[in-house]
Amino acid sequence: MRRSIVISVVMVLCVLGLLLFGFGAETEVPAAPPGPVVLLVEDDTGAFLLQVKQGAQQAAAQAGCTLTQEPLSGETLAETAQRWSQRKATAALLLTEDAVLRAEAEAALDAVGVPVVVLRDEETRTVYAAMDERQAGMLLADFAKAYGRVYLVGDAPQRLEGALSALRQEQAVTEGNALPAPGEDACVVALTGKETRRLAAMREAGELTARLVGMDPGEERVQLIAEGAVDALAVETPYALGYMAMQMALSGETEACLLPYKLVVPSEMYDAKNVKLMFPLLH
């Protein structure tokens, strides 16, 4: 009798154990890889696009998804959006300087449920990855404030705001198109790439003798620094921009992300940390 009771108790305990802990370890189903991401580009923007794409590809590879680049054209927007919707795209990365085309592309992709991350733009929507223009102004002004007077030249409101915030209250500052007199203890801050090129040409011609720092002028950056036409440049970081944009696309991020500029001076142009920025085609 006692033996029967013991056996019954053991059986009850076994049943309870199965109910509490299951009939075995549950097999984990591996998560499906994310859907593809498309990079829609209006124009081939040379080295900048190359680095953006490299950064995005690196983030995509880490997540196990694919990145495809396609041209962005207003004539085929609806077709392109529909095709990527059917392919269950995780998101689209959008790179264009044309505000009208950008808005049309966003609308077409939104209509078919494909999320969009805009690169290099801070005006048209919430979800974007762009360079921090205010921080660029701060970088340049921080270099310039060692001189008697700082001249802020160029139409770039956010960079101007950043530059002014970085200067001391007692710092002598001139805004507008005025330039320092020959021999004046001054530094000129060019707030746009266009102004950087113009003022660098003046300096090379001997028409400007003051120090000069400026914004990334694009393909001419190496020549201007190597020839001493500028004393420092605030250089874009497109690899980081592409990497972060892809991460935002994969995570479904709904906030903006600003990437910092890098200040490059002639003595550091060939440092390992700057070579990729200055010579992107070597990588």
pLDDT of residue 277: 74
- The tens digit of pLDDT for each residue in 134-162 reads 999 999 999 999 999 999 999 999 999 99
Q: In terms of pLDDT, which residue wins out, 43 or 3? A: 43
pTM of the full predicted structure? 0.79
pLDDT of residue 125: 53
pLDDT of residue 124: 54
pLDDT of residue 14: 43
Q: In terms of pLDDT, which residue wins out, 31 or 15? A: 31
Three-state SS string over the chain comes to CHHHHHHHHHHHHHHHHHHHHCCCCCCCCCCCCCCCEEEEECCCCHHHHHHHHHHHHHHHHHHCCCEEEEECCHHHHHHHHHHHHHCCCCEEEEECCCHHHHHHHHHHHHHCCCCEEEECCCCCCCCEEEECHHHHHHHHHHHHCCCCEEEEECCCHHHHHHHHHHCCCCCEEEECCCCCCCCCCEEEEECCHHHHHHHHHHHHCCCCCCEEEEECCCCCHHHHHHCCCCCEEEECCHHHHHHHHHHHHHHCCCCCEEECCEEECHHHCCCHHHHHHHCHHHC
Report how far residue 65's alpha carbon sits from residue 239's, in angstroms, rounded to the nearest whole number: 18
Question: Which residues make Cβ contacts (< 8 Å) with residue 176, sequence separation at least 6?
Answer: 152, 153
* pLDDT(240) > 80: yes
- The tens digit of pLDDT for each residue in 62-109 reads 999 999 999 998 888 999 999 999 999 999 999 988 889 999 999 999
* pLDDT(234) > 90: yes
Q: Look at residues 137, 42, 53, 147 and name the one whose alpha carbon lies nearest to residue 97.
A: 42
What does the pLDDT average to over 40-49?
83
